[in-house]
């Protein structure tokens, strides 16, 4: 819940306080000085739709036995990562929120809550790491850390909901977070050019 | 971050082996270990029947207690419609072939143990009622009276017809728990998914199949300590183990201790310088019968009997000396006092 | 897109994560409290299940007339209306698999801990 408060602050601050431009930002800002509300909505919508599509795609993959609950490949995370890297903070948060909100209709409130906690923790870690320029965190590292943060956020939410500590899952979630994080990182690398193309196509 | 280049030892040299080791340890830990055994406790033969199954199903465990309860209904003198009760009441009965066959076998065992194993002493033990509500030291005359109608010699088995003289009471107490273990073994043999099992019926234990630890460990009760405290331990393969001891059921009158194992010769509690005898044999009934017989016979006279039945034993003397027969010396470990 | 895809520190990061996962996995093994559970059965049905470590003071239970005292150290049958009193002589149950049985009253008290059973059976 702490992170939620942090994010709200950031959300308010980010337009007014100039963030030292990262390489991604420079690129993005160079291309479009101001985002019109229509473009904001269109871009967010496309990203969110993409995230949902990837979630759906992932659900089509064969079920791997022996995986603990919560350990997923998380292909949709690639879109969130792309948003964090190439789109604005409000857009990124919107994608995370829409992705979770879809679960609200699909599987109910508790699934929504768990997904949202994971998503918010993951995205806040991601946004912070991207902005620490000196570290220049690699994409693989970003992907791994955000995947693990996602798992931990879900674990916290599930613990709150069930009222019991579910820390027995932590080792497995750390391990699979790292493994799947690497995989989604590679997927993002492959998708990156296409995603940029998509983003820029709206500009024409 | 720059520290990496400055420091002499590359942290990778520590982290890589360590994480590989941990991942290996976790994987090893995740490999399914021997599964938890199925444990069930039921009541039969006047004591608890504890079944521990490695492999197998709950049904098999339940079936064992059902079979033992069926056995109890055939042989127990406290069950009013058992063959034994019927004979004890009506002095003669036509039984099924199993019952008369068992009784005939036990009669032979009685002869081969010089009468030390005797199931016809019910009338005498009823006088003493050791462990019951009317414990007392009966008069000499009462004992002589009861002894006159007791003893294998007075029992007649003609085909499937069993006849006893007026006043005799048959009592399966000395073999019942061992027979329960035999029943259990029959049930277990019908379930090939059982890899190993331990069935304990009072003082008799069946060790079946393979122990997950290589050998079964059976503790021998310390005669002077609380139940559950052992004086020695036996490492055994498949087989049956039974103990008879003077500490199980007894009462003390005028400073004298009267135990529940009666001598078929005198009708008085057996006193042969032993506190307990534990017998390992190939049949439950045999191990149970021999443990009683050896307790009655004493150490010296027991040895030829044990040899005849190809059984092994551990004797505990009045001085708490633990004496195994030759076949058990290696299997026996004394517990620290 | 100038952000590096893979940095040499990433392998260290991954290894450290595996390391932490491994440590977290084994952590409870070394710091778990000695868990003792007493189970009381009447007529082979489980009627009480008591976590000994949660007990601050000895507690008495009465099942079928049998009085059982359970404390943080173990359990014992204090008294029983049965004639043979074998269960009372059983003494304190402390180790895994220790069992006190009162056959006449059809009561079983069983101790379960995480430690390994020392003996498969006891003949008495």
Indicate the average pLDDT of chain C: 83
Length of chain A: 204
pLDDT at C30 exceeding the cut of 80: no
Stronger pLDDT, C108 or A16, i.e. the higher one:
C108
What is the average pLDDT across B180-203? Answer: 93
CATH number 2.60.320.10 given to C36-113:
yes
Q: Where are the domains of chain A?
A: 36-59+70-201
Residues of A in contact with C2 (CB under 8 A): 23
Q: In 3-state terms, what secondary structure has residue B215?
A: coil
Q: For B268-299, how does the pLDDT look when each residue is reduced to its tens digit (9 = 90+)?
A: 999 999 999 999 999 999 999 999 999 999 99
Give how far Cα C101 sits from Cα of B276, B326, C121, Å. Answer: 21, 34, 14
Burial class of residue C32 (count of CB atoms within 10 Å of its CB; 0-12, 13-18, 19+): exposed
Least confident of B6-20, C39-53, C61-75: B6-20
Least confident of A6-15, A69-78, B150-159, C61-70: A6-15
What's the pLDDT at B6? 52
Q: Which residues pair with B196 in a beta bridge?
A: B54, B209
Given pLDDT bands bounded at 50, 70 and 90, which one contains residue B8? low
CA B56 – CA B199 distance, rounded (Å): 14
CATH topology of domain B38-334: T-fold (3.10.520)
Give how far Cα B48 sits from Cα of B177, B201, B281, B287, C51, Å. Answer: 10, 6, 22, 18, 24
Burial class of residue A134 (count of CB atoms within 10 Å of its CB; 0-12, 13-18, 19+): exposed
pLDDT at A1 exceeding the cut of 70: no
pLDDT at C95 exceeding the cut of 70: yes
Q: For B12-52, how does the pLDDT look when each residue is reduced to its tens digit (9 = 90+)?
A: 777 778 878 877 887 787 776 666 788 888 888 888 899 99
Q: For B68-106, how does the pLDDT look when each residue is reduced to its tens digit (9 = 90+)?
A: 999 999 999 989 999 999 999 999 999 999 999 999 999
In C, minimum Cα distance to A192 occurs at C1
Highest mean pLDDT among A149-163, B281-295, C40-54: B281-295
- Least CB-CB distance to C24: which of A138, A174, A177? A174
Q: Which two tokens stand for residue B12?
A: 């990778």
Q: Where are the domains of chain C?
A: 36-113
CA B315 – CA A67 distance, rounded (Å): 56
pLDDT at B2 exceeding the cut of 60: no
Residues 308-327 in B contacting C (C-alpha not used; CB under 8 Å)? none
Residues 53-92 in C contacting B (C-alpha not used; CB under 8 Å)? 83-84, 86, 89-92
Given pLDDT bands bounded at 50, 70 and 90, which one contains residue C116? confident
Indicate the average pLDDT of chain A: 80
Record: contact C13-A174, CB cut-off 8 A: no
Residue-by-residue DSSP string for B172-189? GGGTHHHHHHHHHHHHHH
Given pLDDT bands bounded at 50, 70 and 90, which one contains residue A13? very low
CA C23 – CA C29 distance, rounded (Å): 10
What's the pLDDT at A11? 42
pLDDT at B324 exceeding the cut of 90: yes
Residues of C in contact with A137 (CB under 8 A): 3, 7
Q: In 3-state terms, what secondary structure has residue A194?
A: helix
Give the ipTM of the model, two decimals please: 0.78
Residues of B in contact with C105 (CB under 8 A): none
CATH topology of domain A36-59+70-201: Arp2/3 complex 21 kDa subunit ARPC3 (1.10.1760)
What's the pLDDT at B287? 97
pLDDT at C4 exceeding the cut of 70: yes
| Ramachandran angles phi, psi of C98, nearest 5° | -60, 130
- pLDDT over 70 percentage in chain C: 95
Q: Which two tokens stand for residue B224?
A: 């002077």
What is the average pLDDT across C65-72? Answer: 90
Given pLDDT bands bounded at 50, 70 and 90, which one contains residue B66? very high
């Amino acid at each position: 819940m702490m992170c939620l408060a942090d994010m709200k602050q950031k959300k308010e601050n980010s337009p007014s306080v100039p963030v030292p431009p990262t390489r991604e930002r420079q690129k993005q800002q160079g291309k479009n000085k101001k985002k019109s509300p229509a473009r904001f909505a269109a871009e967010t919508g496309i990203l969110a739709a993409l995230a949902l599509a990837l979630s759906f795609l992932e659900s089509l993959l064969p079920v791997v036995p022996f995986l603990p609950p919560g350990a997923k490949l998380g292909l949709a995370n690639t879109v969130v990562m792309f948003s964090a890297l190439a789109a604005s903070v409000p857009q990124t948060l919107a994608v995370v929120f829409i992705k979770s909100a879809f679960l609200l209709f699909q599987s109910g409130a508790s699934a929504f809550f768990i997904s949202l906690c994971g998503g918010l923790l993951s995205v806040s870690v991601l946004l912070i790491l991207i902005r620490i320029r000196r570290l220049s965190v690699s994409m693989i590292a970003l992907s791994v850390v955000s995947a693990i943060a996602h798992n931990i956020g879900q674990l916290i939410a599930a613990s709150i909901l069930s009222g019991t500590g579910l820390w027995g899952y932590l080792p497995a979630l750390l391990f699979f977070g790292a493994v799947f994080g690497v995989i989604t990182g590679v997927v993002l690398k492959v998708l990156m050019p296409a995603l940029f193309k998509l983003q820029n196509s709206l500009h024409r | 971050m720059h520290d990496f280049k400055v420091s002499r030892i590359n942290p990778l040299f520590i982290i890589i082996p360590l994480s590989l080791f941990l991942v290996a340890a976790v994987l090893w830990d995740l490999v399914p270990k021997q599964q938890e055994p199925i444990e069930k406790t039921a009541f039969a033969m006047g004591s608890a029947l504890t079944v521990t199954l490695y492999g197998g199903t709950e049904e098999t465990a339940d079936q064992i207690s059902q079979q033992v309860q069926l056995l109890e209904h055939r042989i127990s003198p406290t069950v009013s419609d058992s063959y034994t009760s019927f004979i004890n009441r009506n002095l003669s009965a036509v039984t099924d072939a199993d019952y008369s066959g068992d009784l005939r076998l036990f009669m032979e065992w009685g002869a081969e143990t010089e009468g030390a194993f005797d199931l016809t002493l019910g009338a005498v033990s009823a006088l003493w009622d050791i462990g019951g509500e009317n414990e007392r030291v009966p008069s000499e005359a009462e004992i002589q009276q009861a002894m006159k109608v007791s003893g294998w010699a007075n029992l007649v088995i003609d085909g499937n017809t069993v006849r006893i003289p007026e006043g005799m009471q048959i009592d399966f107490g000395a073999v019942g728990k061992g027979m329960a273990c035999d029943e259990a073994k029959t049930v277990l043999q019908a379930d090939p998914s059982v890899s190993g099992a331990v069935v304990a019926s009072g003082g008799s234990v069946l060790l079946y199949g393979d122990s997950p630890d290589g050998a079964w460990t059976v503790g021998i009760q310390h005669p002077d300590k609380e139940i559950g405290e052992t004086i020695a331990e036996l490492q055994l393969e498949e087989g049956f183990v039974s103990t008879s001891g003077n500490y199980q059921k007894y009462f003390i009158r005028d400073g004298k201790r009267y135990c529940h194992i009666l001598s078929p010769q005198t009708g008085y509690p057996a006193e042969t310088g032993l506190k307990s005898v534990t017998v390992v044999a190939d049949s439950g009934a045999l191990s149970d019968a021999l443990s009683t017989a050896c307790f009655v016979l004493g150490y010296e006279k027991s040895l030829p009997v044990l040899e005849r039945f190809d059984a092994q034993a551990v004797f505990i003397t009045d001085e708490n000396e633990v004496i195994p027969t030759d076949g058990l010396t290696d299997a026996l470990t004394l517990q620290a006092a | 897109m100038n952000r590096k895809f893979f940095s040499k520190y990433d392998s260290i990061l991954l290894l450290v994560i595996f390391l932490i996962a491994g440590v977290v996995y084994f952590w409870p093994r070394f710091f778990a409290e000695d868990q003792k559970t007493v189970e009381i059965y009447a007529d082979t049905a489980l009627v009480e299940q008591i976590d000994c470590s949660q007990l601050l003071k000895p507690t008495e239970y009465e099942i079928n007339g049998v009085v059982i005292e359970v404390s943080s150290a173990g359990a014992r049958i204090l008294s029983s209306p049965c004639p043979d009193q074998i269960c009372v002589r059983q003494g304190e149950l402390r180790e895994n698999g220790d069992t006190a049985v009162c056959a006449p009253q059809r009561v079983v008290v069983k101790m379960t801990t995480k430690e390994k059973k020392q003996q498969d059976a006891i003949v008495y």
